[in-house]
Structure 1
Amino acid sequence: MRGLGKTRRKVRVGLWAAAFGAVALAAALPAQAAPGAAGGPGEARGPAQEHQGSAHGHHGAHWALKKTGTDARFRGLAAVGRSTAWVAGTKGTVLRTADGGANWRDVSPPGASNVEFRDIEAYDAHRAVALSIGEGEASRIYRTADGGKTWTESFRNADPKAFYDCMTFFDRRHGLAMSDPVDGKYRILSTVDGGRSWKVLPNKGMPAAQEGEASFAASGQCLVSSGPRDVWLATGGAAHARVLHSADRGLTWSAAEAPVPAGDPARGVFALAFRERGHAGRAVEGLAVGGDYRPDQASPDAAALSRDGGRTWTTAAHPPPAYRSGVVWLPGTRATALAVGPTGTDVTTDGGRSWRTVDTGSYDTVDCAGPGGRGCWAAGEKGRVARLETDGTR
């Protein structure tokens, strides 16, 4: 989105235990002061908060910061597992760890220092696809198959009216990327060969965009998929925030209003998370978070949930206290998810109906791989990357 750019409370937390399913943990994690004046996504902020979670003898689950050696802002994050993760961000920076964050290798694509990476998707420690954002040729897609030793630029946007925000993959071959509306409709880019080549899909099945509608390249989660064919797109900036759904890999779409703050270019749904529950005919559960990214504006009702694959949405009864830019279901849990933003991390253990703040460190995006939160990572400003850990684990 082109226009993209304090809470102080004490929190008694035993709910981090839910992040590890059957592992019973009880922790008292005191909140710290949120970072100073915060701008919109892509803008500079105050000094990064160095909350380590496990400091001062605290016990339980916590974010443990990992030194990355850079001040890049990471809005692109791909969790492969507990040991392996990729991050992508400002100044064309891409880093990869294969040892749980103890060491990070700079695998930035050569000649890309002038681009802004906002999304990265990775299959393993070797194969990854990264998306840079911006008007015209600033929107590009890069692909590596050797852990970032070499990269191929597989797409460069030639349409000055297009601005790509996010991408998602259904499997190792099939994926989509999306642009803000061009000529009144969202534009969808498709790959069937793991990101080696891309083509623009026809827009006949895409509903018309609202006036001023666009998406937020804030966390790589404005376009998400679940299963082999279903994909969802989050919108904002218009009179109503919406979630668009396709069940045929982006050929046809339906739209549903989401009850989160809207009616301003700074407001809308910033991130989505979906997952399947049950067997054939199963429910597809969805979470939406967002709000108003401006730090001087309140974000009431900044989270919503769906139990029917995004056809209808309900406002969270107890939403996060402020704008949130990233959200993820914890694999292997029944109803637990995490949401992150500049002023903190929130956890839900009831499928998104109620959220509780468990950390006040600044993060822009969150991703999990592996059961029970064992491979959960978060990333954000000033080179901040953290892994979810319990005392005694490394």
Structure 2
Amino acid sequence: MRWFALIGPCVAAVLTCSAAVPAAATTAEVTSATKLHWELQPSGTDARFRGLAAVNREVAWLGGSKGTVLRTVDGGRSWQDVSPPGAAELQFRDIEAFDARTAVALTIGEGEQSRIYRTSDGGRSWTESFRNTDPKAFYDCVGFFDRRHGLAMSDPVDGKVRVLSTEDGGRSWTVLPSAGMPDALPGEAGFAASGQCLVTSGPRDAWIATGGGARARVFHTSDRGRTWSVSDTPLASKPTAGVFALAFRDRRTGIAIGGDFENPNTAKDALARTGDGGRGWQVPPQAPAGYRSGATWLPHSMVGVLAVGPSGSDLSLDGGRHWRQFDAGSFDTVDCTPDLSCWAAGEKGRVARLRLG
């Protein structure tokens, strides 16, 4: 297909489109001609899923409200309830999965409501590998560099963002020293909206997104969390606004996206791009039409980016400079896999696969 390089292998190769679109087509022409859409799947629950880990085109995990964790191994045709026992009062907001058997899931909340669970048998059994005992901590997101090394982040404690580290695949966790972390702003915090307030790229780089304070900021580490730098973004910031999600194509190229969740149809100062690993952020010519809580790059694409939020989903085919809304349904989080499959999840048990045609 002549538009293959433009729209990205994720959409072109997996979703089986018969339309031929000229290589010079605009985003609007491509999305119109290909009829890009989310195909809803039956999750069997009304839980709200803000945690999503897509492993491949057959395997994905969901983490949500009411202590709910679901898993599919057949491309979403059926979902298994593999929720940890005794977790019904907890809120799973992030989940990271390595395969069909191994996953790490984070619950959020003050004090002991923030916990980390791990399974190595497809959710038949779970081990609680971390329970927060500090009443001042509130964990938001977890991310992994590889199958062994990962981080989890909490809202600031004693004036600094707190970070946990694991070197054994989430079996145990250690609070990292705060000496290498810049001071937090008054009111600054992460948003546990999509499991994308902490993201990684490669073996050592990670970024943390914040809002709530005087400025929306992004923290960056290049040594797996021992030391951090921080930069301001142009995104608006207040208690309900800031950077809700980060998505990095590599260790230099990324986007920061968010807005104000109390005004989901307004997108003023809600998107920025970086080409230097997050040291500097620029406002693109165009942004999605509303608040967006999740974003991801199309796999093996240099230019394709997806964004989702309560008021719709958007596609960019030029690295986040311009956007076209292609779906009006509500989703909180989105993820794509190396074997070219994209998934989204959100409120009222909504989970979907990306399709063309």
Do the two structures share a fold, i.e. TM-score over 0.5? yes
Q: Is the 8 A contact 1:17 1:26 kept in 2?
A: no
Unaligned segments of structure 1, at least 5 residues: 1-13, 28-57, 277-282
Correspondence for 2:338: 370
Q: Does the alignment pair 1:256 with 2:256? A: no
Aligned match of 2:111: 136
Does the CA-based 8 Å contact 1:320-1:357 persist in structure 2?
A: yes
% identical aligned pairs: 63
CA RMSD of aligned residues (A): 2.0
Q: Which of 143, 164, 173 is residue 139 of structure 2 equivalent to?
A: 164
1:185 to partner: Cα distance = 0.1
1:328 aligns with 2:302: no
Pairing 1:294–2:285 present: no
For the 8 Å contact 1:244–1:254, the answer to whether it is kept is yes
8 Å Cα contact 1:16/1:61 also seen in 2: no
Check conservation: 2:265, 2:291, Cα contact below 8 A.
no
The residue that corresponds to 1:20 in the other structure is 11
Separation in 1, partners of 2:73, 2:205: 30
The 3 A distance-change label for structure 1 pair 322 and 296 is closer
Q: Secondary structure at the match of 2:165?
A: strand
Q: Deviations over 1:117-139 (max 9, x none)?
A: 00000000000000000000000
Q: Any residues of structure 2 matched to 1:28-107 within 5 Å, and which?
A: 60-107=35-82
Q: Cα 1:296–1:173, aligned 2, differ >3 Å: closer, same or farther?
A: closer
**Per the alignment, in what secondary structure is the counterpart of residue 361 of structure 1?**
coil
Q: Which runs of 5+ in 2 are unaligned?
A: 22-32
CA contact (8 A) 2:264 2:310 kept: no
* Alignment map for 1:193-212 (pairs within 5 Å): 193-212=168-187
Answer yes or no: is the 8 Å Cα contact 1:25–1:61 preserved in 2.
no
Q: In the alignment, is the contact (CA less than 8 A) between 2:48 and 2:64 conserved in 1? A: yes
Q: Indicate the SS of the match to 2:253.
A: strand
1:385 corresponds to: 351
**Alignment partner, residue 197 of structure 2:** 222
Shift of 1:354: 1.2
Q: Deviation string for 1:89-129 (max 9, x for gaps)?
A: 00000000011111000000000001000000000000000
Q: TM-score, normalised by structure 1?
A: 0.83
Cα deviations across residues 322-369 of structure 1 (Å, max 9, x unaligned)?
100000011111210100000000111111111111111100000010
Alpha-carbon distance in structure 2 between the residues aligned to 1:25 and 1:267: 39
Counterpart code for 1:73? R
Q: Is the 8 A contact 2:36 2:326 kept in 1?
A: no
In the alignment, does 2:313 pair up with 1:345?
yes
1:235 equivalent in alignment to 2:201: no
- Partner-residue secondary structure (3-state), 2:249: strand
Q: Deviations over 1:242-285 (max 9, x none)?
A: 000000001100011011111x1001000001122xxxxxx610
- Taking the aligned partners of 2:316 and 2:93, their CA distance within structure 1 comes to 26
| 1:296 Cα deviation after fit | 6.7
Does residue 186 of structure 1 match 2:154?
no
CA distance in 1 between partners of 2:53 and 2:85 (Å) = 20
> What SS does the aligned partner of 2:116 have?
strand
Shift of 1:301: 2.5
- Greater Cα shift, 345-354 or 150-159: 345-354
Question: Residue 346 and residue 26 in structure 1: after superposition, are their counterparts in 2 closer, same or farther (change >3 A)?
Answer: farther
Distance in 1, Cα, partners of 2:316 & 2:345:
20
* Cα distance change on mapping 1:26 and 1:68 into 2, 3 Å: farther
Which SS does the other structure have where 1:382 is aligned?
helix
Tell me the amino acid that sits aligned with residue 274 of structure 1: F
CA distance in 2, matches of 1:350, 1:187: 35
How many residues end up aligned between the 2 structures? Answer: 340
Indicate the SS of the match to 2:104.
strand
Distance in 1 between residues matched to 2:356 and 2:272, nearest whole Å: 29
In the alignment, does 2:122 pair up with 1:122?
no
Please give the alpha-carbon distance, in whole angstroms, between the structure 1 residues aligned to 2:133 and 2:52: 26
The alpha carbon displacement at 1:17 in A equals 4.5
Post-superposition offset of 1:60: 3.9
Distance between the aligned counterparts of 2:280 and 2:93, measured in 1?
A: 28
Does structure 1 conserve the Cα–Cα contact (< 8 Å) formed by 2:331 and 2:347? yes
**Does residue 110 of structure 2 align to residue 174 of structure 1?**
no
Q: SS of the residue aligned with 1:92?
A: coil
Shift of 1:232: 0.2
Residue in structure 1 matched with residue 27 of structure 2 by the alignment = none
